[in-house]
Amino acid sequence: MSSLTVTDEQVSATPAKVIQPAWVRVMHWINALAMILMILSGWQIYNASPLFGFSFPRDYTLGGWLGGGLLWHFAAMWLLMINGLAYLVTGFATGRFRKKLLPITPSGVLHDVRAALTFKLGHADLTVYNYVQRTLYAGIILVGVIIVLSGLGMWKPVQLHWLVSLFGDYPTARYIHFFCMAAICAFLVIHVLLALLVPKSLRAMIIGR
Amino acid sequence: MAKRSFLIPGVDKRLLIKDSIKTMPEVSRRRFIAGGASLGALTLLTGCDVIDSSSAEEMLKSVSKFNDAVQAFIFNPDALAPTFPESAITKPFPFNAYYDLDDAPDVDGADWKLEVRGLVDNKKSWALPELYKLPQVTQITRHICVEGWSAIGSWTGTPMRDFLKLIGADTRAKYVWFQCADKDGYNSPLDMRTALHPQTQMTFKYAGDILPRAYGFPMKIRVPTKLGFKNPKYVVSMEVTNDYKGGYWEDQGYNSFSGS
């Protein structure tokens, strides 16, 4: 791909340039903490009335019982929502989303997925996201928005009944909330795995370069 | 009124609640902190022991109080819970309690009287036939449990706000506090705005028939804008009050507003 040459030039021209600005790093790690708190307390809440024929292991739940899980969930939600909202606003306002996540073309995604699966996907320039990254990052932002909206609907199904109707009805919103959690967990596994495979990406998310 | 079994005899419940969580009954504390192992999982992740259980508990309690205030602020008393057609009713409507149906209060309707206390002009007690004579309405709404499940049911009874008007209640008071016939003294406070909500109901019938024992005979408070645990069954008395008197589940850590 022609972008590979551009990429190499960028790297050699500005070797020490900031890959992840400070606001991205701060919000990323706050979000990571908030997500983990929300997932572990969410599993506790799930266990009180499982949607499927399984429960989450007690050791991986937060709060000790339903009441404790709910307290954690409704405390961490502020962290998740305020941080998430700030991230969305800054992402759009600075043009980061447009610059980093767009365009996403089907041919680009196909090409990079194939390259990734055959371990031929380059990571020379971390400032440019490949199509796999763009798809996953844009996708997980969307999932994040949906999980918050379905969660808000379940928290306030009367005040926000229009939000619940958007998802169908209350039980459907609950299923959607669950599947978004599953998607986030799957993302988390892939995301952490890939960050460990390309450690300099992890370094960039900690010290910026 | 029967005291909750885990309360220390002779100790004023209000004082108990005013005290910090440390003086709370052992049962609820144990349930709350029992997640030591799971908190450990978080400690592993963060690499430090920031989440020692008592300070975390205090922090969570204050966030929950903050959430109470936020919810009360955004609660629009004119927002009506969605209503459903009869075809949407969940059959059978689940019985749910922290005890089996066999252990549910078995109230004798002939002896039962609704006791009215607190900031009201007329403190007379109400027998069932008197209450049955009050104008009733039917509404089909979704009951949402704190556990996450929900079910649609049909409830018939007298709007709470009509009854509060009838007994000359001071509707500037903060709460209506309900006590129930459960042997360990189930109770729950309802904020006045919610008590005055047009759909909040003193329920005497389920699906057109006299409220069966499973659903709270002789009287249930149906509050479609609140989670199920704030819809007390087997109600024996109500008190209009400015004091927060706690509740069976609220004292154990469920968010007190819990409004939907």
Query: ipTM score here?
Result: 0.83
Q: Does the pLDDT value for residue A9 go beyond 80?
A: no
Higher pLDDT, A4 or B157: B157
Q: Does the pLDDT value for residue B39 go beyond 70?
A: no
Closest by Cβ to B38, choosing from A64, A74, A170: A64
pLDDT score at A62: 94
Tell me which of 3.90.420.10, 3.40.50.2020, 3.40.140.10, 3.40.50.300 is the CATH number of domain B86-252. Answer: 3.90.420.10
Q: Does the pLDDT value for residue A30 go beyond 50?
A: yes
pLDDT score at A16: 63
pLDDT score at A13: 47
Region of B68 on the Ramachandran plot (φ > 0 left; ψ -120 to 50 alpha; else beta): alpha
B63 touching chain A per CB within 8 A: yes
Angstrom distance (rounded) from CA A125 to CA B25: 59
pLDDT score at B35: 44
Higher pLDDT, B175 or B5: B175
Strands B113-118 and B235-241: parallel
Name which of B29, B67, B96, B260 to mutate to probe chain A: the one with the most chain A Cβ atoms within 10 A of its Cβ: B260
Cβ separation of A158 and B147 shorter than 8 Å? no
Name which of B28, B31, B38 to mutate to probe chain A: the one with the most chain A Cβ atoms within 10 A of its Cβ: B38
Partners of residue A49 in chain B, C-beta under 8 Å? 145, 147-149
Top CATH class of A2-207 equals mainly alpha
Contacts of B165 (CB under 8 A, 6+ apart): B171
Q: Does the pLDDT value for residue A4 go beyond 90?
A: no
Token reading at B142? 């979704």
Percentage with pLDDT > 90 across chain B: 68
**What is each CA distance from A184 to A101, A178, A196, B2, in whole angstroms?**
18, 10, 18, 48
B138 touching chain A per CB within 8 A: no
pLDDT score at A43: 98
pLDDT score at B204: 98
Task: Please choose, from the candidates A31, A48, A58, the residue with its C-alpha nearest in 3D space to the C-alpha of residue A147.
Answer: A31
Identify which of B37-41, B114-118, B256-260 has the greatest average pLDDT.
B114-118
Residues of chain B with CATH 3.90.420.10: 86-252
**What's the mean per-residue pLDDT of chain A?**
91
- Region B234-252: mean pLDDT is 96
B141 touching chain A per CB within 8 A: no
Q: Does the pLDDT value for residue B245 go beyond 60?
A: yes
Partners of residue A44 in chain B, C-beta under 8 Å? 35, 38
pLDDT digits (tens, 9 = 90+) for B51-77: 556 788 889 999 999 999 999 898 898
B residues 218..257 contacting A (CB < 8 A): 224-225, 249, 252-255
Q: Does the pLDDT value for residue B49 go beyond 60?
A: no
Q: Does the pLDDT value for residue B28 go beyond 80?
A: no
Higher pLDDT, B42 or B137: B137
